[in-house]
Amino acid sequence: MIQDMDNAEFEVIPERRYVKSVRRYAPESLIPHIASVSAQFGIPEIGRGWMHRPDEGITYYPWALADIASVSLTARNAPRRHHATPRQLRELVSLYNASVGAHSHTTGSATAREILLLTSNLQFPYQDEAYPQFARTKAIFDAGFPQDYRPECITPGWDRELFGTDLAAYSRTALLLYVAASQFSGRFLPDRLYNGPEAEQFEQAAPREELLTLVDGHFSADRDQLRRDHARVLARSKSSPNWTPDHRRYAYNPLTSHPLVRGMGPGYLCPVPALLPRKAGPAGIYFAGLARWRTAFTRDLGHLFQQYVGSQLALLPTADVLPEIDHRIRGKQRGKSADWIVVHDDAVLIVEVKSAMPTQDYRLGWAEGVSTAQEKIGDAFEQIDRTARFIRERREEFTSIPSDRPIIGLVVTLEPFHLAQGYPVRQELPITSTPTLICSADELELLVIAENPSMSDIVLKAVRDPAVEGWALKTITGQRSPLRNQILEASWNTFAHAFQ
């Protein structure tokens, strides 16, 4: 679902007017109202009208609440600001909605691709369900490395070096913060948990001092830190010739790095609890590891993710799953096929795994970002096409794979490259003789447990039916929650059982 931006419904206002209106109000009065509203909705399921409040005559979008909070918290301190009430928050949400995409509508400066990528990359992450994000992180890092790979930095104790605790405790802390903030009007109140009737259970599950050290070190920040963080990233963004002031809301929000705020009343204030699963999800760990070990971490993670994808494919009940095939190129030179080959009764699926992440330039719809995405995942198309050709040519190492049925490629990415499946991004990717689809880890978790239609039914429909051309594969599955995915459930139980 994408928020409607039809100009006929409201007057489009300038971005600067919206920002100025937010900063009229003292954060100490405005942010608690945002947190209280955000906590009521949590992570939604699409199609339930979860954001609409007819009694208030307003629709609360989580991305709007997150931006209002960011604009307020990163403002310079100013005396005698107005006191905000729930009514003022409703007015600010209306102003945000009226100023969405203002530069696109008033100046015509944005291309269709930019508008679509701006909107989808802003809104879609807030529509992901929380619990699979928590479970996926631990499952990926538990997948193990291939036998012939020696990790560079993800070795025993890597998580303690990075977080000061193990990954299970990190995930458990994020989950506790998410649930507590969602239940207590957007606040995490340690005294309420550790001095209450269930204090002993909480102390056993997550010792107070250990938890607070983790919260202060990785999940929370005061306003000064948020302001500095935002200013640093914003300065880098402004250096691009593509930048306009109207890009601000689509760019970096410091609350994604520190979802909790210190120094705003009792305990910790969490303006938008929906940001916590993303902080503890694969993307959050990716960037934390990248900052510490640079590309050595991403190389290690790539091998873990490849194994994780293989374990998900192994859940398919009626398919044969083969690992990458070592083959002769010429003379003594050897090469490897795509990462996984899945043989169904009605199709052969060639899977190439990419732990690549979309850059901010991609999220903003800039040509440079789309080109970078092409570089990151474009070679996967060529690897798939090469493997398919070897199967069709009956190369010696590939004769066990049938060539009498459709051969389809599937590129699996760690995080979604929104809209990469269709216009306006797909036209930038290589043209190959093998029809190839793109999906992210969360979609794969749905595909492997799909029954009616099955995974092979879905991928065949995606490449044959013009009516669904460009659709995300999870849309075709007709399913939403992958909680019955056995791997996610097993991962969930390794850290969440303490609070059940």
> Which tens digits make up the pLDDT trace of 142-175?
999 999 999 999 999 999 999 999 999 999 999 9
Q: Report the percent of the chain where pLDDT is more than 90.
A: 70
* Confidence label for 106 from pLDDT (cuts 50, 70 and 90): very low
Render pLDDT for 172-231 as a digit per residue (tens, 0 to 9): 999 999 999 999 999 999 999 999 888 888 898 889 999 999 999 999 999 999 999 999
Q: Which token pair is 420?
A: 């990469």
- For position 80, what pLDDT does the model report? 64
Would you give the distance in Å from CA 322 to the centre of its chain? 28
Terminal CA-CA length for the chain: 32
Task: Read off the pLDDT of each residue in 11-18 and give the average, rounded to a whole number.
Answer: 84
Check whether 28 has a pLDDT greater than 90.
Answer: yes
Q: Report the percent of the chain where pLDDT is more than 70.
A: 91
- For position 474, what pLDDT does the model report? 86
Would you give the distance in Å from CA 296 to the centre of its chain? 22
Task: Read off the pLDDT of each residue in 22-42 and give the average, rounded to a whole number.
Answer: 92
Would you give the distance in Å from CA 430 to the centre of its chain? 25
CB-CB contact of 97 with 137 (8 Å): no
When the pLDDT of each residue in the chain is averaged and rounded to a whole number, the result is: 89
Q: Is the dihedral of CA 51, 482, 186, 253 positive or negative?
A: negative
CB-CB contact of 168 with 495 (8 Å): yes
CB-CB contact of 359 with 291 (8 Å): no
CB-CB contact of 271 with 261 (8 Å): yes
Task: Read off the pLDDT of each residue in 299-313 and give the average, rounded to a whole number.
Answer: 98
- Helical packing angle, 62-73 and 86-99, nearest 10°: 100
Instruction: Say how many C-beta atoms besides its own lie within 10 A of residue 491's C-beta.
Output: 24
CA angle (119 as vertex; 116, 120 as ends), nearest 5: 80
**Alpha-carbon gap, residue 38 to 57, rounded angstroms:** 17
Task: Read off the pLDDT of each residue in 419-426 and give the average, rounded to a whole number.
Answer: 82
CB-CB contact of 339 with 353 (8 Å): yes
- Helical packing angle, 27-41 and 86-99, nearest 10°: 80
Q: Comparing C-alpha atoms, which of 321, 97, 89 is closest to residue 186?
A: 89
- For position 479, what pLDDT does the model report? 63
- For position 339, what pLDDT does the model report? 98
Check whether 462 has a pLDDT greater than 90.
Answer: yes
Rounded-to-10 torsion of CA 442, 445, 446, 448: 150
* Confidence label for 322 from pLDDT (cuts 50, 70 and 90): very high
Q: Is the dihedral of CA 86, 88, 91, 92 positive or negative?
A: negative
Render pLDDT for 49-101 as a digit per residue (tens, 0 to 9): 356 776 777 889 999 999 999 999 999 877 768 999 999 999 999 999 888 65
- For position 78, what pLDDT does the model report? 73
Higher pLDDT, 424 or 407: 407
Is the preceding peptide bond at 424 cis, omega within 30 degrees of 0?
A: yes
| Mode of pairing for the β-strands spanning 52-53 and 58-59 | antiparallel
Check whether 336 has a pLDDT greater than 70.
Answer: yes
